Amino acid sequence: MSDLNVLQEEAGPILLLDRSGDLQRRDVLNAFALDELLCRQTGAGGPAICHIWRHPGALVMGVRDSRLPGAAAASRSIRKLGYDVAVRHSGGAAVPLDPGVVNVSLIVPLSSGPGQGDFQPAFHRMAGLIEQALRGTGRQVRAGEIAGAFCPGAFDLSISGQKFCGIAQRRQSKALIVQAFIIAEGSGGNRADLVRAFYEEAAGDTPPELYPKVTRESTASLQELTSLGALAVPELIRLLKETVRMQQQSFSPEAMDAAAAALRLPREEEVAAMTQTLRQRYTS
C-alpha cells in the first residue's frame, strides 16, 4: 500500500482541521457542505486540508440507495431510531455514522497532465494515510472489497478479513475530496445489522444483485481488531494527526505559514446555504 509521500509530492502542505469534538446534533450534510466549500478554495489555489469530524447519529445513503422503491419508508424507520438520514454527493452506498465513527476528508488539488482523470491515486492517498497511522498497532491493513460489507468497494480497508473503513470521493473541476469513514469504537456487527435492516425494507422487489447484501461478520471496529482499546476514537485521531504532521515537516515554516494564511473557513451562513443546496440536489 502506498505511503503519504504521494500527498507530499502533489498536494503541498496539508492543513489540519479537527472538528471531531463537535458532536452537536445538526444536519449531517453540514460536514459535506463544509467539504464542498473548502474544496472550491483548494481548487482556486488554496491549501490542501485534512478535515476530521464525527456525527452523533446518521445514515448517509448513496444516490442509488435513495432510488430503491422502499427507500422513503426505510428512511422513516431509521429516523424513528434517532438517526438523521441524507443522501451524500460522493460515491458509495449506505453508511451509518455515530460518535464511534471517525470521518476523514482529504481535500487536495487535482494533478495536471495525462493522469488527471485517473481516480486511483486519490484512493491511494487516503488508504496510505490510514495505513501509516495504524502501523504502530502491528496489524496489517489490506485494501480490497470485503464480501458482505456495507458500502462495498475496491478500496475497503480491512484487518484479518473484516472491514473497518470505506473510501469514496467527490470531484470538482480543479480539486477533489476523498472521504473515509473509519469504524473506531463499538460493534461493527451492530452497525452492519442497522444497514442490513435498511436494505431489507428499502429494496422491495429490487433484484438482489442491485444492492449490497450486508452480513454481520463482515465488519468490525478498530477497538475489536487492534490494541487501540475502548479509547480507539481519540487514539486514532491522534495517530492520524501525527501522520499528517509528519507530512507538514517536509515543508518550511514559511510554506506552512503561507498555507495557513491562504485558508478562509466558510461562514456559518455559507455552510448552511450549501447544506440546503446539497439536500435539495440529492434528495429524490
Domain boundaries, the chain: 5-271
Confidence of residue 119 (pLDDT cuts 50, 70, 90): low
Contact 19, 51 (CB under 8 A): yes
The whole-model pTM stands at 0.93
| Residue 151 bears catalytic tag | yes
Q: Cα–Cα distance between 127 and 145 in angstroms, integer?
A: 13
Contact 173, 242 (CB under 8 A): no
Reported as a single tens digit per residue, the pLDDT across 23-60 is: 998 999 999 999 999 999 999 999 999 999 999 999 99
Confidence of residue 157 (pLDDT cuts 50, 70, 90): very high
162-166 LR contacts (CB < 8 Å, sep 24+): 162/188, 162/217, 162/218, 162/219, 162/220, 162/224, 162/225, 163/188, 163/218, 163/219, 163/220, 164/188, 164/219, 164/220, 164/221, 164/222, 164/225, 165/130, 166/92, 166/95
Report, as an integer, the average pLDDT of 199-212. 94
Reported as a single tens digit per residue, the pLDDT across 86-104 is: 998 777 899 999 999 999 9
pLDDT at 114 over 50: no
Q: Which of 39, 50, 151, 165 is catalytic?
A: 151
Confidence of residue 204 (pLDDT cuts 50, 70, 90): very high
Residue 122 pLDDT: 80
Alpha-carbon radius of gyration of the chain: 18
Report, as an integer, the average pLDDT of 166-172. 92
- Helix/strand/coil percent split, the chain, to 5: 45, 20, 35
In 3-state terms, what secondary structure has residue 93? Answer: coil
Contact 149, 192 (CB under 8 A): yes
Distances (CA, A) of 52 to 70, 102, 118, 282: 33, 7, 25, 23
Report, as an integer, the average pLDDT of 238-253. 95
CATH 3.30.930.10 fits 5-271, yes or no: yes
**Percent of the chain scoring above 70 in pLDDT:** 92
pLDDT at 1 over 60: no
Q: In what order do the strands lie in the sheet with 175-183?
A: 14-19, 48-53, 101-109, 175-183, 162-171, 157-159, 142-143
Q: What is the mean pLDDT of the chain?
A: 92
